[in-house]
Every structure is written in C-alpha cells, then in structure tokens.
Amino acid sequence: MIAMEFEPWMLLVFPLFFGMGWLAARFDLKKLLSESSALPQSYFQGLNFLLNEQPDQAIESFIEVVQVDPHTIELHFALGSLFRRRGEIDRALRMHHNLVERADLDKERRQQAIFELGQDYLKAGILDRAEMLFGELKNTPYARPALEFLLELFQKEHDWAKAILIAQQLGEVTNDVLYRQQAAHFCCELALEDMAADDLAAARAHLQQALQECPGSVRTNLLLGDLNLREQHIDQAISTWQQVEQQNPDYLPLVAERLLTAYRSLGQESQGIALLRRYLDNYHAVDLMNLLFDALLQQEGPAVAYQLVRNELERKPTLIGLNKLLEARLLEVPLDRRADVELVKNIIHQRTRSLAAYQCGECGFKARQFYWHCPACQAWDSFPPRRSEETGQAL
C-alpha cells in the first residue's frame, strides 16, 4: 500500500472546506425555511393526509391551498388531472377552465390548460367543445396527442370522414402504418353505410380509397367481394375473395362460406369444395373443417365427412374437431347404441362452447362472432381470425 505523505499546508485547507460547507448549509437552510413559511398550513396537512393514506382529506386540504394561494399553478394541474381520473368531471372542468381564463398565464401553460380541458370535455361526452379545444392546439407541442384524442372523438361520433383525415395526418406525423390501417377501416365503415343506403357507386369509391390507404386490407377485399356479389358479378366476387390467400391466409375461414355460397349459386359446388379442401390442406383451421364437414355431409354422406374430420384430428387434435367427429359417428351408429356416444358428445359440446369463441388480444373480450373493432376496448384488428382453441387463448 502506498502511504500518502502529510503536508503542513493541509492544516489550512481543512478549515476552509469546513467553512464553505457551513455557509452553503446555512444558505440552503434559510432558503428552505423561507419557502416553507410561505406555504399555507393546508399544504402540510395535505401531505400528512397522503402519508397516512387518506386521499380524500388530502384533496380537500390541497383545494384549500389553491383557494388561499391562486399562484400554485402546478397544484391546479395536478388536482384537475386527479379529479378527471376519479370521475369528478365537474371539478376537473372548473379547475382547468379557471386556468384557461387566467390572464397572467404564459403561453406554454395556457396550451397545457387547453389540452387538459379538452380531455375533461371528452371524458364528459361534450364532444363539440372537446373538438374545438383540441383544434386550437395545431402547431403546438400538444399537436400530436391532440390529434390522437380527436381520432378517438370522431370514432365515438362515427364521423368516419373526419376520422380518415385525422388518421392520415397522424400517419404523416408518426410514419406509423397503424394509422393507415385504421384509415382503411374508416373507409370500410363508410362503404357499409353506402351499401345500407343502396348507394353502390359510393361504396365502391370508398373501398378503392381503403385499398389506397392500406393495399393489404383483408376487410376491404371481403367487402369488395360482397359488393360484386350484390351487383351479380359472381365470378368477380370469387376472384376478389380468393385474393385473401395472398393477403393473409389466416383470414380464409372468414371468406370460406362466402366462396362456397357463390360457387353454389353458379351450380359449381364441387369446385367450391375442392378449393376449400386445398385451403384446409395448406392452412388448417377449425372453421374451414366445420364448413367442409357440413358440405360433405350433404353431398357425399357421413362416411366421407367422418374421414375428413378424422384426418384433421390426426394432423392437429382439437376438442372442436372431436365434437364434429362424434357428430358424424352418431349418424352411423344404430339407434340402440347411440346413448353412450350422445352422452360423450354432449359433454364435449359444452366444453367447446367457450373454445369456439373469438377473443380480443387487447382486453380479452370474448364473442361468438368476429369483430374488426372490439366492442369492449375499441381496439382495431385486435381479434385473431381463429377460434380461441386454435390461438391458445382459451387455455
């Protein structure tokens, strides 16, 4: 170990460092005492309530601070946001409205107050005022989050035309393809409204716009096929639906029944069944198997339908497939020997009711039908196009 050599001048340095530290401590302590004495007693009472896990009493104490000292801007913002989260919208509105009206508020703080007040109105369902306030925040640091809230607002109003414009702006600002995909969904919503009003030309224009926004939109091709079918262009509808295989084959179960119905209308059911068999061979899916099972049962009898399900069970065992296998088996079993098979089938069927649901990947909401837009959490494209048992979500 190297020993440090002591020098006499160090005796002079130690008192100097000590003195500087003492002066600094006195200065900071005087400043702290000065600032603390300027705070109302209610502030410290509020802190004490928070430490003792008494949030309601703490809030009341902080409100008293705001009333005594209106210059506590940060406390105004904190309380306003807290009221909004607690669902006390009237109190949040008053708090943020008072801030917006203050003449002594600087530009940045006023923009923040407008942003918070817009959120209050959105939460309260006063959408026109929320839209006006968020619209004031263009070219400010709050421009992007304001656009995101506007997107939420226009979806609530089902104002799909405005929602498309906002999604396009967000796509340009963020370069995120998610907003282009959402814009395509909004175009599809407009197309559905057009089709309900029997305005097929407008529906086609909106679907073409959807493909421009997102060329890989499966939903757009499904609707284009529906539109072609409605206009009696059956071959064109089939061709449009077949494009789903190149876009995303996971969605083939959603288009399979449309395809089979179209082939039947042309008197070409065998060709439709052959196409679905190819899909099933390449992309195993329970819904494809169920549809083919029913078609084969009618066209070729229970033995062929039974063999189809048996082959699929060997490839990928599922309880839904087993339920279908038992259904085919029941058709061939003599009446006096059906009781045991029916008992097993009923037990399996009860179990498969939950497994045969679609489930939102964002919030876990389950539904018997497929949704592009989750009814619970409002997320787009959050439902996998396969049943819960296939995705593993039901486990």
pTM over 0.85: no
Report d(CA 167, CA 144) in Å as an integer: 11
Cβ contacts of 243 within 8 Å, gap of 6 or more: 221
CA neighbours within 13 Å on the CB side: how many for 120?
Answer: 25
Residue 362 reports pLDDT greater than 60: yes
Phi then psi for residue 380, to 5 deg, are: -95, 145
Q: What is the mean pLDDT of the chain?
A: 80
CA-based radius of gyration for the chain: 33
Give the mean pLDDT of 242-250: 95
Q: Which amino acid is at 259?
A: L
Q: Predicted confidence band at 28 (pLDDT cuts at 50, 70, 90)?
A: very low
Query: Domains in the chain, please, with CATH?
Result: 176-247 (1.25.40.10), 256-356 (1.25.40), 359-395 (no CATH)
Instruction: Give one word for 276, left, alpha or beta, with left for phi > 0 and alpha for psi -120 to 50.
Output: alpha
What is the per-residue pLDDT for 327? 74
Q: Predicted confidence band at 380 (pLDDT cuts at 50, 70, 90)?
A: very high
* CA-to-CA dists, residue 18 to 6, 9, 21, 28, 204, angstroms: 19, 15, 5, 16, 83
- Count Cβ atoms below 10 Å from residue 334 Cβ, excluding itself: 6
Residue 367 β-bridge partners:
358
What is the per-residue pLDDT for 208? 97
Residue 122 reports pLDDT greater than 90: yes
- What pLDDT, in 10s, does the model give residues 252-300? 999 999 999 999 999 999 999 999 999 999 998 888 988 998 899 888 8
DSSP state of 372: S
Report d(CA 61, CA 318) in Å as an integer: 60
What is the per-residue pLDDT for 146? 97
- What pLDDT, in 10s, does the model give residues 70-96? 556 776 777 778 778 888 898 889 878
Q: Both ends of the chain: CA-CA distance in Å?
A: 64
Range 377-380, long-range pairs (CB < 8 A, 24+ positions): 378/155, 380/181, 380/182, 380/185
CA 35 to chain CA centroid, nearest Å: 46
Report d(CA 145, CA 334) in Å as an integer: 67
- What pLDDT, in 10s, does the model give residues 197-209? 999 999 999 999 9
Structure tokens belonging to residue 383:
């439902």
* CA-to-CA dists, residue 360 to 183, 184, 376, 383, angstroms: 20, 20, 9, 5
What is the per-residue pLDDT for 297? 86
What is the per-residue pLDDT for 25? 44
Structure tokens belonging to residue 37:
């004495």
Q: Predicted confidence band at 338 (pLDDT cuts at 50, 70, 90)?
A: low
